Structure 1
Amino acid sequence: MLTSTAFLVVMLVGVPIGLCLCVAAIVYVLASGNMVLFQSYPLQMFNAVDSYGLIAIPLFVLIGEIMNAGGITKKIVDMAMAFVGSLRGGLAYVNAIANMFVASILGSATAQVAIMSQIMVPEMEKKGYDKDFSAGLTAYGGMLGSIMPPSVMFVVYSVMAQVSVSDMLMAGLVPGLILTALFCVVIAIIGHCQKFPRSEPQTFKQRAATVWAAVPSLSIPIVIVGSIFSGLASATEAGAVGAVMSLLIGRFWTRRLRFSDMPAIMTRAGLYSAIVLFLVVAAGVLSWILVFGRVPQEVAGWIQTVAKDPVTFMLLANVILLVIGTVIDGIPGLIMTVPILLPIATEVYGIDPHHFGVVVVINLVLGLLSPPVGLCFFVAAAATGANPGRMFMVTMPFFLITCVLLVILSVFPTISLIFIG
């Protein structure tokens, strides 16, 4: 009780969530009177990041930074426009499809929303789309950044769950593709009802030129996902290859990137990676304290009185995770929930940890698009000037269809395990 109180107090004061967790662990040790635990405290912090798989995080972040600076994202948007831009609501389809491709490189929901908002929303406004809808759709597209491989959240989860990073990334591929398809269905329905505008059709020659210009950019996600799926490279190795490819394409193909830009790019990537890795350290300390205090066992006992089978447990977990995701960011949400819920899912109900990880991540990211916090909406609003509250209302169908997908995944786990050997 004292530990929980200490955590809430320091969090409400405004202390970063990683430090809150570390302070709460110290308070627990002091309250227990077992000072010997302080000898293990530094070791637990070190063990939390002593993982080869975590090297993938700075590499994936670096790829996103290079893409943004090198104009690679714009090439992918132009290619999507060539294929679906002439349909009714074409720019809305472009938004969803381009987000899917960009997600397979950036791997971060908030970073993706910030970048795509500046690219897509002004263009959609020019064509007559509502600004709040455009920004809201872009925010929902950012969900794919945490689901499609590579995903920083999946890397963090895989380390916490002690499963293969490559397998965890591939588990998100099919759900990510399904979610993209469902978003396109919603766009089609809304576009028909609201008479979305059409863009001017392109000639075959124009489309061919646009696709040719985007081929090198598309090779980045193809190589990353393909090398992981084929077993030719681990997620970390694929991230290194992707970083080199994005550097070469940005410098010699799009010619928007200069080698003199690299120090600033690497500094930004390093700062974000350091924040994520410190959260992983806090996760290791929290997991250690929770296990020592037998918290998972106590929670498991309560859940077993409510959920009698795996499906019921998954549906209950969906509600818990979504509520937590509405007030806590994605990676801190992982840190607070996985050490408690994962042992219950795997040991009590026999749920595959890869499948559980997909459901956890989608729920927590959906929470980023839900009141009262809605971080992705605020990121999109800051970039475009849209109204966060109205963004949530006009994009409610996307929220509902994502909830439907979560229920389907909870009932049919094989969807997320197709590519897991």
Structure 2
Amino acid sequence: MIGGGFFLAFLIAGVPIAFALIALAVVIILAGGNHILFQSFPQQFFGGLENYGLLALPLFILLGEFMNEGGIGRRLMALAMALLGSVRGGLAYVNLVANMMMASILGSTVAQITIMSRIAVPEMERAGYPRDVSVAITAAGGMLAPIIPPSMMFIIFGVIAQLPIGDLFIAGIVPGVIMFLAFLAVIAWLGQQHAFPRSRTLDLRERVVAVRDALPAAAIPVVIIGSILGGIATPTEAAAVASVAAVIVGMFVYREMSVSDIWPAFMRAAASSAVVLFLIAAAGLFSWVITFENVPAIVSAWVQSLTTSPIVFLLTINLILLLLGMVTDPIPAIILVVPVFLPVATGVYGIDPFQFGVIVCLNLTAGLLTPPVGTGLFTAALMGNVRAERLARLILPFFLAVALVIVALSLFPMLSTGLGAALQ
């Protein structure tokens, strides 16, 4: 309780999350009287980064930068238009399909919302869609990013939980498809409420051109997922190959990227990666301290006093995660939650760690679009020039769909574990 109070005070004071975690670890050590732990501080801090799987993180961030520079996102949008654009509300469905394609490459909600806001919202507005509804659909589509592989959150969860990242990617495929289908149903309902226009029918030549132009872009997620599922490459190797492919496509196929764009993309990716990796290092230190101080066992005893049912435990965790996601970003939340609750979930209630990982990431992603913090919500509102309050109300039907998916994942573990078991 004392440590939690100090941590809250650090956050209120504006202390960065990573430094707040380190300070909290110091407070816990001082409160426990185990001062000898300070001798291992440097070793434990740097030891948190000695994980091969972490190499995938900066490489996927770099892939996102190269995609943005190379015009790949726009081609994926055109491909979705060629496939679905002639139905009523076609651009809304196109937006969601393009979001799913981008999610299979970027893995970052905020990055996806930023890119898709530039591409999809102007097109939808020109076609007669209300601007606020267009922004809401784009923002909701961003919730697909952390669950459809490759996912930044899965990488971080896998590193902290010491689980194979490739297997986590596989665990997210079926839940991601289910959530995509649920969002399609929401868009169909919104189309009835807002009388979405019918997009013009593309002729055969236009469809062929759109498919042809998008094939190199669409090959990138196929390379990533196919190489991982086929056992050809690890997620790290797949990210490296995909980054090279994105440069080749952007420079020599689409000709929207030049040599001068490569170095700035490296610098942006390095800056973003440094922030996340420093946070992970602080998380490793924090996890080591709370494990030494037996915090997971204390939490386990407390949770067991509340319920002995795995289902009730998962539903309780869902509520805790959603509330936590409302006040903090997903990565710090994962760092706080996983060391404490994962041992309880697997050791006490027998919950599959991959099922737990998917549920954690999906809950915390929903928090990205929830006030009062809601990084994704405010990013979408800023990019779309829409009031955040209005946007939060419009996104509510998508939240209800996500809630139903989370409940289904909690009740039916095979939704997140079945594909991995089938592939083994």
TM-score by length of 1: 0.98
Tell me the CA shift for residue 302 of structure 1: 1.7
Matched-pair contact (CA < 8 Å) for 1:63–1:243: yes
Tell me the CA shift for residue 31 of structure 1: 3.2
Matched-pair contact (CA < 8 Å) for 1:325–1:366: yes
Deviations along 1:195-220, one digit per CA (max 9) or x if unpaired, are: 10111110111101100000000000
Matched-pair contact (CA < 8 Å) for 1:3–1:24: yes
Amino acid corresponding to residue 38 of structure 2 in structure 1: F
Aligned to 2:15: 15
Q: Indicate the SS of the match to 1:419.
A: helix
| Residue 37 (structure 1) aligned with residue 37 (structure 2) | yes
Query: Hey, what's the Cα distance between the residues in 2 that align with 1:374 and 1:408?
Result: 24
Query: Hey, what's the Cα distance between the residues in 1 that align with 2:79 and 2:417?
Result: 30
1:21-100 alignment runs, 5 A limit: 21-100=21-100
Tell me the CA shift for residue 289 of structure 1: 1.6
Larger CA deviation: 30-39 vs 377-386: 30-39
Aligned to 2:325: 325
Aligned to 1:133: 133
1:247-396 alignment runs, 5 A limit: 247-396=247-396
Query: Hey, what's the Cα distance between the residues in 1 that align with 2:318 and 2:74?
Result: 35
Aligned to 2:206: 206
Matched-pair contact (CA < 8 Å) for 2:171–2:355: yes
Deviations along 1:73-98, one digit per CA (max 9) or x if unpaired, are: 00000000111111111111011110
Aligned to 1:195: 195
Aligned to 1:142: 142
> Cα RMSD over matched residues?
1.1
Q: Indicate the SS of the match to 1:199.
A: coil
Matched-pair contact (CA < 8 Å) for 1:54–1:156: yes
Amino acid corresponding to residue 9 of structure 1 in structure 2: A
Amino acid corresponding to residue 258 of structure 2 in structure 1: R
Matched-pair contact (CA < 8 Å) for 1:107–1:151: yes
Query: Hey, what's the Cα distance between the residues in 1 that align with 2:351 and 2:410?
Result: 10
Amino acid corresponding to residue 29 of structure 1 in structure 2: I
Deviations along 1:172-229, one digit per CA (max 9) or x if unpaired, are: 1111111111111111122123210111110111101100000000000000000001
Q: Indicate the SS of the match to 2:105.
A: helix
Aligned to 2:177: 177
Q: Indicate the SS of the match to 1:196.
A: coil
Ranges in structure 2 where 5+ consecutive residues have no aligned partner: none
Query: Hey, what's the Cα distance between the residues in 2 that align with 1:36 and 1:306?
Result: 35
| Residue 116 (structure 1) aligned with residue 116 (structure 2) | yes
Query: Hey, what's the Cα distance between the residues in 2 that align with 1:419 and 1:79?
Result: 28
Matched-pair contact (CA < 8 Å) for 2:174–2:415: yes
Deviations along 1:132-155, one digit per CA (max 9) or x if unpaired, are: 221121111111111111111100
Tell me the CA shift for residue 293 of structure 1: 2.0
Deviations along 1:306-338, one digit per CA (max 9) or x if unpaired, are: 222211111111111011001110100100111
Query: Hey, what's the Cα distance between the residues in 2 that align with 1:7 and 1:377?
Result: 25
Q: Would you identify which runs of 4 or more consecutive aligned residues in structure 1 move more than 4 Å? A: none
TM-score by length of 2: 0.97
Query: Hey, what's the Cα distance between the residues in 2 that align with 1:333 and 1:221?
Result: 28
Aligned to 1:415: 415
Query: Hey, what's the Cα distance between the residues in 2 that align with 1:333 and 1:199?
Result: 41
Query: Hey, what's the Cα distance between the residues in 2 that align with 1:23 and 1:227?
Result: 41
Q: Indicate the SS of the match to 1:4.
A: helix
Deviations along 1:344-399, one digit per CA (max 9) or x if unpaired, are: 00000111111100000000000111222222110011112111111111221111
| Residue 221 (structure 1) aligned with residue 206 (structure 2) | no
Tell me the CA shift for residue 29 of structure 1: 2.3
Aligned to 1:154: 154
Matched-pair contact (CA < 8 Å) for 1:307–1:316: no
Q: Indicate the SS of the match to 2:212.
A: helix
Identity of aligned residues (%): 47
Query: Hey, what's the Cα distance between the residues in 2 that align with 1:194 and 1:8?
Result: 42
Query: Hey, what's the Cα distance between the residues in 2 that align with 1:279 and 1:23?
Result: 13
Query: Hey, what's the Cα distance between the residues in 2 that align with 1:402 and 1:151?
Result: 17
Amino acid corresponding to residue 174 of structure 2 in structure 1: V
Larger CA deviation: 224-233 vs 1-10: 1-10
Query: Hey, what's the Cα distance between the residues in 1 that align with 2:105 and 2:19?
Result: 30
Query: Hey, what's the Cα distance between the residues in 1 that align with 2:44 and 2:401?
Result: 40
Amino acid corresponding to residue 41 of structure 2 in structure 1: Y
Aligned to 1:231: 231
Query: Hey, what's the Cα distance between the residues in 1 that align with 2:351 and 2:83?
Result: 40
Tell me the CA shift for residue 52 of structure 1: 0.3
Larger CA deviation: 46-55 vs 297-306: 297-306
Aligned to 2:241: 241
Matched-pair contact (CA < 8 Å) for 1:75–1:217: yes
Q: Indicate the SS of the match to 2:369.
A: coil
Query: Hey, what's the Cα distance between the residues in 2 that align with 1:258 and 1:249?
Result: 11
